[in-house]
Chain A
Amino acid sequence: MTTLNFRARVPVFDANIGVGHLRNRASPFESPEQLLREMDRHGVARALIYHLEGEAMSALEGNERLLSWVDGQSALHPQWVADPTPDSLAQLQQLHRPGQLTSVRLHNSRECGLPFVDWIYGDLLEWLAAERIPLWLSLADTPAVEAREMLRRFPDLVTVLLGAHYSHSLIVRPLLRQLPRAHLELSRYEGLGKIPPLIREFGIRRLVYGSFYPRYAMGPMLFSLHHLGLETSDLELLCSGNLDRILKEGGDR
């Protein structure tokens, strides 16, 4: 029964939260403590966070700023942003040595005016695939044709596709068929009746909950997923188990 107030009833590990201010948009929270309060309000126990500055300005500097957000915070897990510069790859390799690298998020290639092609991003993806480090990639910022062509060149690379919107409705299923190592993060995918067919065709293990906070409110998609009529075990996989597995093992192999 629906009530006027909601908290998650399964463990939640949010796969998509940005921290820090954008150059053209101030964040509604300024500290880990404020973020943790909002997470607690919805019953979100853990979050994978990246620094928004890395998306379009500098992956290098954004990642440096991320350190202060995760220092001493067991509920906040760092996700490092990558761009195609040698400096960025060198930084990721340095972070990987002490084992701090469990996932990488591609910067916003579209905003930087770059096509997502192997002669620009090939070195990065080759290294990620070799090291079994999963890549987060935004469909909102990457043309589906480029994503498909590029990711098929790296068949061992595990990916989480972000940003799918109802306008991607005719793209998502064919793309997931083309990319068997791809998972879909659901924060923006809210067309009526669009998630159950994905579960039927691809299985619950290919789907991941994320909020896209702070650009999207944290609670609505989480609420919605709780009301899809899923078995509790499937809801747990969707809300935390799948992300845990992807980060731990680089996804299914």
Chain B
Amino acid sequence: MIAGTRVIDFHGHVGRWDGTGMRDDPDEMLGAMDAVGIDQSCLFNIFHPDGRTGNDLTARFVKRHPDRFIGFAYVSPLMPETMTPELERAVDHLGMRAIKIYPSYTPFPLDNPVWDPVYDFAHRRGLVIITHTGIEPTTAPRFLSQVAPRFPGARFVAGHAGNVEPFRSQAIRAAQACPNVYLETCSSFRSPGVVEELVRKAGAERVLYGSDTPLMDPRCQIGKILTADISNQAKRQVLGENACRLLGI
């Protein structure tokens, strides 16, 4: 908790990425969370296109600290026949609370129909989908402006909020145009004024704190919110109130 606000980190990973030094040590992750008052972190494993392998790893990781970690399901259109059955298994049997997709690991842009089964699943179940957005051709946030209105029951979160310009502006425009699009803040590009811009242009109720833990330290990423020149009420919304509302927790 920070000043009475439940703090949710909306973007984190399970798995190892040794080339970057990333490792999912729960004690280290919890230590960083505790150091700044992060109550829960949302985690997913994006390294296995079958979905099942990574989702099982995520579920096992979350099970060790179910009060601190929230699992999100991952599927990939590289193995399209697995997507809907695996989403059903992950949500209904593993207890995943939302869905992560990562178009950068596929040749398919976010608006390619190959993703529709994922969007339709989220639409029917009223779930959140968080997607990587940024400079990669498959992940341009402008695609969300086309996809989100077709699946109004789903809530779309633009991970990294586009990361850099001109993609950040695309993400903001998607949020302005579509009531079911949200913007998440983690990025290794810590440009000044970004959190302020997201809040000013999309509204504090549409911005979510995320860190990319353990790739990045949640302390530094939450520092973006706490040192931003925005109101304390906006900080509370970004830090956790919006995430609690979206996840129904």
Contact = CB atoms under 8 A, between A and B. Distances in A.
Interface of A: 1-6, 28, 41-42, 165-167, 169-170, 188, 190-194, 213-224, 227-229
Interface in B1-44: 2-3, 5, 18-22, 25, 28-29, 32, 35-37
A227 B226 contact: no
B21 A220 contact: no
A213 B192 contact: yes
B28 A193 contact: yes
Contact of B21 (A166, A214, A221): A166
B191 A192 contact: no
B215 interface: yes
Contacts of A229: 35
Contacts, number: 119
A222 B222 CA distance: 11
Of A1, A215, A224, chain B has the most CB atoms within 10 Å of the CB of A224
B57 interface: no
B20 A219 contact: no
Given A166-B21, A217-B194, A220-B190, A2 B37 contact: yes
Given A4-B2, A192-B217, A224-B219, A214 B192 contact: yes
B188 A188 contact: yes
Nearest to B232: A4
Nearest to B22: A191
Given A3-B3, A193-B28, A220 B227 contact: yes
Interface of B: 2-3, 5, 18-22, 25, 28-29, 32, 35-37, 188-194, 213-224, 226-229, 232, 235-236
A220 B229 contact: no
B36 A170 contact: no
Contact of B36 (A190, A193, A227): A227
B216 to A, nearest CB: 5
A5 B232 CA distance: 8
A24 to B, nearest CB: 12
Contacts of B194: 217
Nearest to B28: A193
- Chain A facing B: main interface SS: loop
A193 B223 contact: no
A6 B227 contact: yes
29 contacts: A2-B2, A2-B36, A2-B37, A4-B3, A4-B226, A4-B232, A5-B226, A6-B226, A169-B21, A170-B18, A170-B19, A190-B220, A191-B214, A191-B215, A192-B214, A192-B215, A192-B218, A193-B25, A193-B217, A215-B191, A216-B192, A217-B190, A217-B194, A220-B190, A220-B220, A220-B224, A221-B223, A224-B220, A227-B36
A191 B192 contact: no
Nearest to A173: B21
B220 A218 contact: no
A195 to B, nearest CB: 8
Of B28, B37, B219, B228, chain A has the most CB atoms within 10 Å of the CB of B219
Given A167-B20, A191-B20, A194-B21, A220 B188 contact: no
Contacts of A6: 223, 226-227
B224 A192 contact: no
A169 B219 CA distance: 18
A228 B35 contact: yes
A227 B35 contact: yes
Nearest 5 A-B pairs (CB), nearest first?
A219-B227, A169-B21, A223-B223, A220-B223, A224-B220
A214 B29 CA distance: 29
Contacts of B218: 192
A169 B188 CA distance: 14
A42 B3 CA distance: 19
B221 A220 contact: yes
A3 B3 CA distance: 6
B188 A190 contact: yes
A194 B32 CA distance: 12
Contacts of A28: 192-193
Nearest to A186: B220
Contacts of B36: 2, 227
Given A170-B19, A191-B22, A192-B29, A219 B191 contact: no
Of A28, A41, A214, A220, chain B has the most CB atoms within 10 Å of the CB of A220
A219 B190 CA distance: 10
A229 B32 CA distance: 10
Nearest to A1: B37
A6 B2 CA distance: 12
Given A193-B214, A215-B191, A223 B37 contact: no
